[in-house]
Amino acid sequence: MLSSFCGNGHPFTTGLPNVSVCAQHTVLVWVPTAFFLLSLPFLTAQCHLTAQRFDRLPFSWHFIIKLILTTFLAVNSLFTWFFVIFSSQSFAPAYYVYPALWVIVWGGTVVVHLVRLRCGLVSSGIQHVTALVFAICGAPEFYQWIREDGGDSHQMGSAMSIAYLSWYVALLLYSFFLCFADPRGGRVKGAHSPELQSSFLNRLTLWWFNQVPWAGAKRDLELEDIFELNERSGSQYLSELWESFWEPKRLKYIHEQSIWTKDPSDEKTPVVLPSVISTLFMMFRWEFLLASTLKFVSDTLQFASPFLLHELLNFVSAPNAPFWKGMALSILMFSTSEIRSLILNSYFYIMFRMGTKIQTALTAAVYKKTLLLSNAARRDKTVGEIVNLMAIDVERFQMITPQIQQFWSCPYQITFALVYLFITLGYSAIPGVIIMSIFVPMNIISSMIVRKWQIEQMKLKDERTKMVNEVLNGIKVVKLYAWEVPMEEFIEEIRRKELKLIQKSAMVRNILDAFNTSSPFLVALFSFGTFVLSDSSHLLTPQIAFVSLTLFNQLRSPMTMIALLINQAVQAVVSNKRLKEFLVAEELDKNCIDRSENIERSHNAVRIENLSATWESEQNATLENIELTAPRNSLVAVVGKVGSGKSSLLQALLGEMGKLKVSKWHVSNRPIHRIRFLTSIQFSIDLRHENAKLRPFICARPREHSDI
C-alpha cells in the first residue's frame, strides 16, 4: 500500500545513510507535521495564559526576521505544491501530499507568530522543537539534493532543486533565530527577572542564571545582584491564589459541619475535612501536568539506551556491518542521553520551584489563620503546634513535592524494565518478578507502622515546643522559685520519648533501605541463575549479559527511591492531617461589628446596646446586658475590680469575643488610638489627675500624653 502511495520505491528498501525518496516524503514529513498539529492546543493555552500577564510585543528586528523567514517557507512550500499540481509530468500521490502538509504547517506558523506577538509571548518551545524536527527530518533529502544525481532520484528538475535547497537553508536560519527571544517594549507587570525575557533554549539550559555565579566568582554577591522574584512566585500572589481555592471549601465544610452537629442522633458519616492536596493541585495544575509530561518522556528515553546498546553489540559482532551504522548508533546513544538530561533538569527545576511556592503559600495561610483564630481555638492550638506547623509540617510538603511524580514514575520504570527483561531472558525473568513483588507488601506494612510513630512523635514535639515557650516566657517565675531542674527534667523526658520513636522509625527505614538497595542484585542473581540452569543451550552472550545488566542498574534507582518515598509520604500524610485540622479551626466573626459608612459620620465612636458576649460558645455569658456609648474625642475610663470584665469589654470592642445577643453594636472603622491600659495608679487623697502616677501601654501606635 505504501509502495503504491510513493510510486517507485519503499521507505525501507534502501540502506542508510541514503534514505529513500518515499521515506523522505512520507515518514520524515508526517512526524514533524503531526507534532506541530498535536501541539497547537497547548500553544493556544500558553498564549492565553501569557496574555493575562504581559503586554503586546513591539515589532523588533528579531520578530521581523522570523516572520520573513516563515513567510518564505510558506510561499516556497506553496510553490512546490503548485509545481507538482500543474506539472505535465505524472507523480505519485506522496508528491502531492507532502507539500500540502508543508503549506499547512508553515502557514500556521505565520499565524502563530502574529498571535504570539499579540499575546506577549517572547519565545515558544513548540515552535523551536517543530523547526528542529523539520531540520533533522529534512537533512536526508537535503543531502540527496546536493548530490549530482539528486534531480534524477527525485524525478524533478533543477527548479525543484533550487526550491528545496533554499527552503532548507531558510529553515536552518529560522531555527537559529529562534534561539533568541523577542524583546519586550515596556516594563513587565509585577516583579521581573531575566527568566521572563529568555528564549526557550535559554530556559532549557538555565543560561539566564549564569550572570549570578559569574558575578559571585569575581566578587562577593550583594543584594542588588540577586534577581527579584517573579510576580507569580511572590507571597502576595500565592496567598491570594490559595484563598481563592481554599476559602470556598472551608465555608462549605463549616456549613455541612453545622448541619451535622444539629442532630447528633442522626447516624450520618462525619463531614470530611477539605483537602489541602487538591487545593494545591488546582493552584499548580498546569506546572504539575507539564512536569508529568517531561518526566514521562525522560523515563521513556531512559530505556532507549539498552535497545541502542543491543544494536551496537550486534554491530560489533557483525564483521561486514558498515562503519556508518556504528557511528550512527553511537551518536544516537549520546543524543538520547543528553536530551534526557536536559528534560530531567527542566523537570526538577519546575518541581523544586513548585515546592518553594507551596511552602510560601502554606506558610502565609498558617500565619493568616493564626491571626484569625477565635479564643476557643487559640486554647486548643498551642504555640508549639503553630510553630511546628510552619517550621516542620509545611517544610515536609516542600520536601516531597520534587519527588511526588515518583509515585507513578517508579512503578512505570520497574514495569518497563521487567517487561524488557522478560523479552531478553524469557521465562527466566519470573524469579526476578517474584522477588520484586515480595518487597511491595513489606514496604506497605512498614509505612503503616512508621506513620503511627510519626503521629505520636509530632504530638510529643508540640508538647515539648509548648513547654519550652512557656518556660522562656515565664523565666522570671522559674528563677524565682528555682524550678529550673524540674522544668529541665520534664522537657528532657519528653525529648527522650521523642528520640525513642525517631530511633525506631530510623531502624525500620534502614532495614527497608538495605532490602531495596539489594533488590536489583537479587533480581539479577536469580534471573541469570535461572536462565543458565534452565537449559543447557542458554548462554550469556554479550547482548544478553550487558543489556540485562543495564536494565538491572536502571532498576536500582526506582527501587532505592521507594523507601525514601514511603518515609516522605508518611510524614506528609501526618502533616496534611494537622494542617487541615488547623486551617478549618474556628475563626473570629468578622461581621460582628457594624462598620458601615453611616457609623463613620455618627457623633459616637462606639455604641453598644444590650450586649451579651462570651469567650466560648459553650460557656455562659462573660459580659451581659452591656450598654456603652463613647462620643468622639472623649476620654472613657473602664474601672472595676479584678475579674470584673474590663479586658473582656475591650476585647469585645475589637470583635475578639463571641456575641450571644446584641441590639446594636457599632464601632468606628477608624483606629481608636486613645484606648490605654492604666495600671499601677497611686491615687492621692483628692484623686486629682495630676497627682496620679500613670504607666501607659499604648494600643495601635504611640500618641502624646495630651491625647488622653
Residue 575 lies in a domain: yes
Same domain? 556 vs 579: yes
User: Which of the pair, 292 or 534, is modelled with greater confidence?
Assistant: 292
CB atoms within 10 A of CB 643: 8
Residue 213 lies in a domain: no
Residue 265 lies in a domain: no
Residue range 333-346, pLDDT digits in tens: 999 999 999 999 99
Same domain? 539 vs 631: no
Over pLDDT 90: what percentage of the chain? 18
Residue 355 lies in a domain: yes
User: Residue 693 pLDDT more than 50?
Assistant: no
Domain-ending residue, one of 172, 200, 228? 200
User: Which of the pair, 177 or 586, is modelled with greater confidence?
Assistant: 177
User: Residue 614 pLDDT more than 60?
Assistant: yes
Same domain? 169 vs 278: no
- The SS3 of residue 566 is helix
Measured CA to CA, the distance from residue 697 to residue 133 in angstroms comes to 72
| Residue 156: predicted pLDDT | 54
Please, which pLDDT band fits residue 685 given cuts at 50, 70 and 90?
very low
| Residue 8: predicted pLDDT | 53
Q: Reduce the secondary structure of 452-513 to three states and give it as a string.
A: HHHHHHHHHHHHHHHHHHHHHHCHHHHHHCCCHHHHHHHHHHHHHHHHHHHHHHHHHHHHHH
What is the CATH classification number for the domain harbouring 649? 3.40.50.300
Residues in the chain: 708
| Residue 58: predicted pLDDT | 86
> What average pLDDT score do residues 68-91 get?
84
Lowest mean pLDDT among 210-214, 392-396, 517-521, 594-598: 594-598
| Residue 594: predicted pLDDT | 58
Domain-ending residue, one of 200, 224, 244? 200
Locus of grid cell 503504491: 4
Domain-ending residue, one of 162, 179, 200? 200
User: Residue 610 pLDDT more than 90?
Assistant: no
Same domain? 654 vs 565: no
| Residue 612: predicted pLDDT | 73
Measured CA to CA, the distance from residue 69 to residue 177 in angstroms comes to 10
Same domain? 380 vs 483: yes
Measured CA to CA, the distance from residue 652 to residue 570 in angstroms comes to 43
| Residue 187: predicted pLDDT | 53
Give Cβ neighbours of residue 70 (< 8 Å, ≥ 6 apart): 106, 109, 110, 113, 174
| Residue 596: predicted pLDDT | 57
User: Residue 428 pLDDT more than 60?
Assistant: yes
Same domain? 466 vs 358: yes
User: Which of the pair, 356 or 533, is modelled with greater confidence?
Assistant: 356
Q: How many domains does the chain have?
A: 3
CA distances from 233 to 25, 159, 192, 355 (A): 46, 54, 10, 11
Same domain? 189 vs 313: no
Same domain? 519 vs 410: yes
Residue 240 lies in a domain: no
Torsion angles phi and psi, residue 567, rounded to 5: -60, -50
Q: Which three cell numbers stand for residue 450?
A: 512508621
Judged on CB neighbours under 10 Å (0-12, 13-18, 19+), 470 is middle
Same domain? 498 vs 571: yes
Residue 404 lies in a domain: yes
This prediction's pTM: 0.77
Measured CA to CA, the distance from residue 439 to residue 561 in angstroms comes to 13
Q: What is the DSSP string of 429-452?
A: GHHHHHHHHHHHHHHHHHHHHHHH
User: Residue 357 pLDDT more than 90?
Assistant: yes
Measured CA to CA, the distance from residue 555 to residue 439 in angstroms comes to 13
Please, which pLDDT band fits residue 328 given cuts at 50, 70 and 90?
confident
Average pLDDT, the chain: 79
Same domain? 356 vs 427: yes
User: Which of the pair, 8 or 110, is modelled with greater confidence?
Assistant: 110
Over pLDDT 70: what percentage of the chain? 82
| Residue 265: predicted pLDDT | 55
User: Residue 602 pLDDT more than 80?
Assistant: no
Residue pair 189/53 in contact by the 8 Å Cβ criterion: yes
Measured CA to CA, the distance from residue 381 to residue 259 in angstroms comes to 24
Same domain? 637 vs 553: no
Q: What is the DSSP string of 83-116?
A: HHHH-SS---HHHHHHHHHHHHHHHHHHHHHHHH
| Residue 74: predicted pLDDT | 92
Residue 431 lies in a domain: yes
Residue range 624-674, pLDDT digits in tens: 777 778 787 778 888 888 777 787 777 777 766 665 444 444 454 444 444
Q: Which three cell numbers stand for residue 397?
A: 510538603
**Which residue blocks in 270-322 are alpha helix, DSSP H?**
276-283, 285-302, 304-317
| Residue 588: predicted pLDDT | 75
What is the CATH classification number for the domain harbouring 521? 1.20.1560.10
CA distances from 581 to 278, 452, 510 (A): 15, 18, 32
Same domain? 622 vs 686: yes
Residue 44 lies in a domain: yes
Lowest mean pLDDT among 116-120, 426-430, 487-491: 426-430
User: Residue 280 pLDDT more than 90?
Assistant: yes
Sign of the alpha-carbon torsion through 392, 397, 403, 406: positive
> What average pLDDT score do residues 569-589 get?
85
| Residue 218: predicted pLDDT | 87
Measured CA to CA, the distance from residue 693 to residue 678 in angstroms comes to 10
| Residue 599: predicted pLDDT | 56
> What average pLDDT score do residues 198-208 get?
87
Domain that holds residue 136: 2-200
* Range among 138-152, 366-380, 590-604 rated most confident: 366-380
Residue range 493-539, pLDDT digits in tens: 999 998 998 888 888 888 887 887 787 788 888 888 888 888 777 77
> What average pLDDT score do residues 270-296 get?
90
